[in-house]
Protein backbone atom coordinates (compact mmCIF):
# COMPACT_ATOMS: atom_id res chain seq x y z
CA UNK A 1 0.00 0.00 0.00
CA UNK A 2 1.42 3.44 -0.89
CA UNK A 3 2.44 5.43 2.16
CA UNK A 4 -0.01 8.22 1.29
CA UNK A 5 -2.97 5.89 1.91
CA UNK A 6 -1.71 5.16 5.39
CA UNK A 7 -4.17 5.54 8.28
CA UNK A 8 -4.50 4.48 11.94
CA UNK A 9 -5.64 0.93 11.22
CA UNK A 10 -3.31 0.29 8.25
CA UNK A 11 -0.36 -1.14 10.14
CA UNK A 12 -2.40 -3.39 12.42
CA UNK A 13 -4.89 -4.64 9.86
CA UNK A 14 -2.13 -5.53 7.40
CA UNK A 15 0.18 -7.28 9.83
CA UNK A 16 -2.28 -8.87 12.29
CA UNK A 17 -2.17 -12.39 10.85
CA UNK A 18 1.64 -12.35 10.61
CA UNK A 19 2.63 -10.25 13.65
CA UNK A 20 3.24 -13.21 15.95
CA UNK A 21 5.29 -14.87 13.24
CA UNK A 22 7.45 -11.78 12.64
CA UNK A 23 7.79 -10.88 16.32
CA UNK A 24 7.23 -14.29 17.91
CA UNK A 25 10.74 -14.46 19.32
CA UNK A 26 10.44 -10.94 20.77
CA UNK A 27 8.74 -12.04 23.96
CA UNK A 28 7.63 -9.64 26.66
CA UNK A 29 10.36 -9.27 29.25
CA UNK A 30 9.28 -10.67 32.67
CA UNK A 31 10.89 -7.60 34.28
CA UNK A 32 8.68 -5.38 32.12
CA UNK A 33 5.60 -7.35 33.16
CA UNK A 34 6.55 -6.99 36.84
CA UNK A 35 7.03 -3.21 36.50
CA UNK A 36 3.63 -2.84 34.81
CA UNK A 37 1.95 -5.18 37.32
CA UNK A 38 3.36 -3.21 40.27
CA UNK A 39 2.07 0.05 38.79
CA UNK A 40 -1.32 -1.47 37.96
CA UNK A 41 -2.02 -3.00 41.38
CA UNK A 42 -5.51 -4.48 41.15
CA UNK A 43 -5.96 -2.80 37.77
CA UNK A 44 -7.40 -2.55 35.34
CA UNK A 45 -4.47 -1.52 33.16
CA UNK A 46 -5.20 0.07 29.79
CA UNK A 47 -2.81 -0.80 26.96
CA UNK A 48 -2.85 1.48 23.94
CA UNK A 49 -1.99 -0.40 20.75
CA UNK A 50 -2.35 -3.79 22.38
CA UNK A 51 -1.89 -5.67 19.10
CA UNK A 52 -2.08 -9.44 19.41
CA UNK A 53 -1.34 -9.24 23.14
CA UNK A 54 2.43 -9.70 23.34
CA UNK A 55 2.33 -7.67 26.59
CA UNK A 56 -1.39 -7.65 27.52
CA UNK A 57 -1.62 -11.45 27.76
CA UNK A 58 1.38 -11.99 30.09
CA UNK A 59 0.21 -9.07 32.23
CA UNK A 60 -3.22 -10.66 32.56
CA UNK A 61 -1.55 -14.00 33.38
CA UNK A 62 -0.04 -12.44 36.51
CA UNK A 63 -3.51 -11.32 37.62
CA UNK A 64 -3.90 -7.79 36.24
CA UNK A 65 -7.12 -7.21 34.27
CA UNK A 66 -6.22 -5.45 31.01
CA UNK A 67 -8.26 -3.33 28.61
CA UNK A 68 -6.53 -3.50 25.23
CA UNK A 69 -7.28 -0.57 22.91
CA UNK A 70 -6.30 -0.91 19.27
CA UNK A 71 -7.27 0.95 16.09
CA UNK A 72 -7.08 -2.28 14.11
CA UNK A 73 -10.14 -4.51 14.03
CA UNK A 74 -7.98 -7.47 13.01
CA UNK A 75 -5.65 -7.02 15.98
CA UNK A 76 -8.62 -6.58 18.33
CA UNK A 77 -10.26 -9.82 17.16
CA UNK A 78 -7.00 -11.75 17.56
CA UNK A 79 -6.44 -10.46 21.09
CA UNK A 80 -10.04 -11.31 22.02
CA UNK A 81 -9.68 -14.86 20.67
CA UNK A 82 -6.40 -15.45 22.55
CA UNK A 83 -7.78 -14.06 25.83
CA UNK A 84 -10.92 -16.20 25.60
CA UNK A 85 -8.87 -19.30 24.77
CA UNK A 86 -6.86 -18.84 27.97
CA UNK A 87 -9.73 -17.52 30.09
CA UNK A 88 -7.82 -14.29 30.79
CA UNK A 89 -9.33 -10.99 31.98
CA UNK A 90 -8.50 -9.03 28.84
CA UNK A 91 -11.10 -6.81 27.20
CA UNK A 92 -10.15 -6.05 23.60
CA UNK A 93 -11.61 -2.79 22.30
CA UNK A 94 -11.34 -1.43 18.76
CA UNK A 95 -10.80 2.30 19.24
CA UNK A 96 -8.41 5.06 18.32
CA UNK A 97 -5.89 6.14 20.94
CA UNK A 98 -6.98 9.73 20.37
CA UNK A 99 -10.53 9.01 21.50
CA UNK A 100 -10.39 6.13 23.97
CA UNK A 101 -12.40 6.47 27.18
CA UNK A 102 -12.79 4.37 30.33
CA UNK A 103 -15.85 4.02 32.55
CA UNK A 104 -13.91 4.46 35.81
CA UNK A 105 -10.46 5.90 36.61
CA UNK A 106 -7.61 3.42 36.12
CA UNK A 107 -4.21 3.12 37.85
CA UNK A 108 -2.20 2.49 34.68
CA UNK A 109 -2.24 3.45 30.99
CA UNK A 110 0.70 2.22 28.93
CA UNK A 111 1.95 2.23 25.34
CA UNK A 112 5.09 0.15 24.75
CA UNK A 113 7.33 -0.96 21.87
CA UNK A 114 7.28 2.46 20.13
CA UNK A 115 3.49 2.43 19.82
CA UNK A 116 3.34 6.09 20.85
CA UNK A 117 5.30 6.89 17.66
CA UNK A 118 2.93 4.75 15.59
CA UNK A 119 0.24 7.29 16.46
CA UNK A 120 1.54 8.92 13.34
CA UNK A 121 0.02 12.34 13.67
CA UNK A 122 1.07 14.96 16.20
CA UNK A 123 -2.57 15.78 16.96
CA UNK A 124 -3.37 12.10 17.68
CA UNK A 125 -0.33 11.90 19.98
CA UNK A 126 -1.47 15.01 21.88
CA UNK A 127 -5.09 13.86 22.10
CA UNK A 128 -3.99 10.42 23.32
CA UNK A 129 -2.02 12.08 26.16
CA UNK A 130 -5.08 14.16 27.07
CA UNK A 131 -7.30 11.04 27.13
CA UNK A 132 -4.71 9.22 29.25
CA UNK A 133 -4.64 12.11 31.75
CA UNK A 134 -8.45 11.92 31.99
CA UNK A 135 -8.43 8.14 32.42
CA UNK A 136 -5.94 8.03 35.30
CA UNK A 137 -7.14 7.94 38.87
CA UNK A 138 -5.29 9.62 41.75
CA UNK A 139 -1.69 8.39 41.79
CA UNK A 140 -2.18 6.70 38.41
CA UNK A 141 0.69 6.38 35.92
CA UNK A 142 1.14 6.68 32.19
CA UNK A 143 4.07 4.58 30.91
CA UNK A 144 5.60 5.14 27.49
CA UNK A 145 8.38 3.07 25.93
CA UNK A 146 9.96 4.47 22.77
CA UNK A 147 13.29 4.50 21.02
CA UNK A 148 15.58 7.51 21.36
CA UNK A 149 16.13 8.94 17.87
CA UNK A 150 19.80 8.72 16.96
CA UNK A 151 21.48 9.17 13.60
CA UNK A 152 23.29 6.07 12.46
CA UNK A 153 21.10 3.26 13.66
CA UNK A 154 17.65 1.74 13.55
CA UNK A 155 15.20 2.19 16.42
CA UNK A 156 15.84 -0.27 19.21
CA UNK A 157 13.86 -3.49 19.12
CA UNK A 158 14.13 -6.54 16.93
CA UNK A 159 15.65 -4.66 13.99
CA UNK A 160 19.39 -4.50 14.58
CA UNK A 161 21.23 -2.75 11.81
CA UNK A 162 22.49 0.50 10.50
CA UNK A 163 20.10 3.35 9.85
CA UNK A 164 21.54 5.99 7.54
CA UNK A 165 20.01 9.45 7.39
CA UNK A 166 17.65 8.68 4.54
CA UNK A 167 16.86 5.10 3.44
CA UNK A 168 18.01 1.60 4.13
CA UNK A 169 17.15 -2.07 3.72
CA UNK A 170 18.26 -4.65 6.27
CA UNK A 171 17.78 -8.40 6.46
CA UNK A 172 15.61 -9.05 9.49
CA UNK A 173 15.14 -12.81 9.20
CA UNK A 174 16.66 -15.34 6.84
CA UNK A 175 16.16 -19.08 6.44
CA UNK A 176 16.48 -21.41 3.48
CA UNK A 177 12.85 -20.84 2.46
CA UNK A 178 12.19 -17.32 3.62
CA UNK A 179 13.73 -13.85 3.88
CA UNK A 180 12.20 -10.91 5.75
CA UNK A 181 13.53 -7.50 4.73
CA UNK A 182 13.02 -4.25 6.59
CA UNK A 183 13.01 -1.27 4.21
CA UNK A 184 12.87 2.12 5.88
CA UNK A 185 12.96 5.77 4.97
CA UNK A 186 13.86 8.30 7.62
CA UNK A 187 12.89 11.92 6.98
CA UNK A 188 14.56 13.89 9.78
CA UNK A 189 12.96 17.19 8.77
CA UNK A 190 9.46 15.71 9.19
CA UNK A 191 10.58 13.28 11.91
CA UNK A 192 8.87 10.46 10.08
CA UNK A 193 10.15 6.92 9.86
CA UNK A 194 8.28 5.01 7.13
CA UNK A 195 8.99 1.34 6.70
CA UNK A 196 7.87 -1.86 5.09
CA UNK A 197 8.47 -5.34 6.33
CA UNK A 198 8.72 -7.43 3.19
CA UNK A 199 8.30 -11.20 3.38
CA UNK A 200 9.77 -13.19 0.49
CA UNK A 201 8.99 -16.90 0.63
CA UNK A 202 9.74 -19.47 -2.02
CA UNK A 203 6.68 -20.03 -4.25
CA UNK A 204 4.46 -17.59 -2.30
CA UNK A 205 3.28 -14.09 -3.17
CA UNK A 206 5.37 -11.26 -1.76
CA UNK A 207 3.77 -9.79 1.40
CA UNK A 208 4.30 -6.14 2.39
CA UNK A 209 3.55 -4.72 5.84
CA UNK A 210 3.77 -0.92 6.01
CA UNK A 211 4.36 1.12 9.16
CA UNK A 212 4.85 4.82 9.84
CA UNK A 213 6.28 6.40 12.95
CA UNK A 214 6.35 10.05 13.90
CA UNK A 215 9.18 10.25 16.37
CA UNK A 216 10.09 12.74 19.07
CA UNK A 217 12.97 13.26 21.45
CA UNK A 218 12.13 12.43 25.08
CA UNK A 219 12.11 16.10 26.11
CA UNK A 220 9.59 16.83 23.36
CA UNK A 221 7.32 14.07 24.65
CA UNK A 222 7.62 15.64 28.11
CA UNK A 223 6.44 18.98 26.69
CA UNK A 224 3.45 17.35 24.94
CA UNK A 225 2.62 15.46 28.13
CA UNK A 226 2.87 18.64 30.19
CA UNK A 227 0.37 20.31 27.86
CA UNK A 228 -1.99 17.42 28.67
CA UNK A 229 -1.48 17.93 32.42
CA UNK A 230 1.03 15.09 32.91
CA UNK A 231 4.45 15.51 34.50
CA UNK A 232 7.45 13.22 34.16
CA UNK A 233 7.87 11.26 37.42
CA UNK A 234 10.93 9.25 36.33
CA UNK A 235 12.72 7.96 33.24
CA UNK A 236 14.71 4.75 32.82
CA UNK A 237 16.94 3.45 30.06
CA UNK A 238 15.42 -0.02 30.40
CA UNK A 239 12.78 -1.93 32.32
CA UNK A 240 15.29 -3.02 34.96
CA UNK A 241 15.48 0.62 36.16
CA UNK A 242 18.77 1.25 34.34
CA UNK A 243 19.56 4.94 34.71
CA UNK A 244 18.61 6.91 31.59
CA UNK A 245 21.72 8.29 29.89
CA UNK A 246 20.60 11.00 27.44
CA UNK A 247 23.84 10.63 25.46
CA UNK A 248 23.76 6.87 24.99
CA UNK A 249 20.31 5.42 25.72
CA UNK A 250 18.78 3.48 22.84
CA UNK A 251 15.33 3.74 24.32
CA UNK A 252 13.52 5.16 27.33
CA UNK A 253 10.78 4.09 29.67
CA UNK A 254 9.06 7.20 30.97
CA UNK A 255 6.50 7.33 33.74
CA UNK A 256 4.13 10.30 33.92
CA UNK A 257 1.64 11.27 36.57
CA UNK A 258 -1.08 13.89 36.69
C1 LIG B 1 4.00 -2.19 17.16
S2 LIG B 1 2.37 -2.75 17.51
C3 LIG B 1 2.57 -3.13 19.20
C4 LIG B 1 1.66 -4.24 19.68
C5 LIG B 1 1.93 -4.67 21.11
N6 LIG B 1 1.77 -3.56 22.03
C7 LIG B 1 3.33 -5.24 21.25
O8 LIG B 1 4.11 -4.69 22.04
O9 LIG B 1 3.64 -6.23 20.58
C10 LIG B 1 1.44 -1.25 17.56
C11 LIG B 1 -0.07 -1.40 17.65
O12 LIG B 1 -0.64 -0.07 17.73
C13 LIG B 1 -1.85 -0.05 16.99
N14 LIG B 1 -2.15 1.34 16.63
C15 LIG B 1 -1.54 2.11 15.69
N16 LIG B 1 -2.10 3.33 15.67
C17 LIG B 1 -3.08 3.34 16.60
C18 LIG B 1 -4.02 4.32 17.04
N19 LIG B 1 -4.07 5.55 16.49
N20 LIG B 1 -4.87 4.00 18.05
C21 LIG B 1 -4.83 2.75 18.61
N22 LIG B 1 -3.97 1.78 18.22
C23 LIG B 1 -3.10 2.07 17.23
C24 LIG B 1 -1.56 -0.95 15.80
O25 LIG B 1 -2.77 -1.42 15.20
C26 LIG B 1 -0.73 -2.06 16.46
O27 LIG B 1 -1.53 -3.13 16.89
DSSP 188-208: TTTTEEEEEEEEEETTS--EE
Does residue 161 sit within a domain? Answer: no
Residues 22 and 116 in one domain: yes
Does residue 235 sit within a domain? Answer: yes
Residues 34 and 59 in one domain: yes
Residues 92 and 194 in one domain: no
CA of 199 to the centre of ligand 1 (A): 20
Atom 3 (ligand 1) nearest CA: 51
Does residue 48 sit within a domain? Answer: yes
Within 10 angstroms of residue 41's Cβ, the number of other Cβ atoms is 13
Does residue 72 sit within a domain? Answer: yes
Please report the pLDDT score of residue 165 as a whole number. Answer: 55
Number of domains the chain contains: 2
CA of 12 to the centre of ligand 1 (A): 6
Q: Which domain holds residue 40?
A: 3-150+215-257
Residues 247 and 188 in one domain: no
Buried b (16+ CB within 10 A) or exposed e, 13-35: bbbbebbbebbeeeebeeebbeb
Does residue 162 sit within a domain? Answer: no
Which among 31, 30, 235 is positioned nearest to 145, based on CA atoms?
A: 235
Does residue 27 sit within a domain? Answer: yes
Does residue 157 sit within a domain? Answer: no
Residues 72 and 195 in one domain: no
Please report the pLDDT score of residue 18 as a whole number. Answer: 78
pLDDT in tens, the chain (258 residues): 445 677 888 878 878 777 777 776 677 899 999 999 999 999 999 999 999 999 999 999 999 999 999 999 999 999 999 999 999 999 999 999 999 999 999 999 999 999 999 997 899 999 999 999 999 999 999 999 998 887 655 554 434 344 455 778 888 889 999 999 989 888 878 888 888 999 999 889 999 999 899 999 999 999 999 999 999 999 999 999 999 998 888 899 999 999
Out of 115, 116, 121, mutate this one to test ligand 1's pocket (max ligand atoms within 8 Å of CB): namely: 115
Please report the pLDDT score of residue 24 as a whole number. Answer: 65
Please report the pLDDT score of residue 1 as a whole number. Answer: 42
Distance (Å, whole) CA 37 – CA 65: 10
Amino acid sequence: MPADHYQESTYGDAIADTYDDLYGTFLADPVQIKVLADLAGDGPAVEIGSGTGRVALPLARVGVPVVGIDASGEMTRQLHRSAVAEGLAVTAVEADAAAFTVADPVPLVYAVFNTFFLLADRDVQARFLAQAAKALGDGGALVLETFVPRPGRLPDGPHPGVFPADSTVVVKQRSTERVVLFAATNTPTARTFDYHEIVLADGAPVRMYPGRMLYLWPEEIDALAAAAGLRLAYRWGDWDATAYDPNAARKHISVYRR
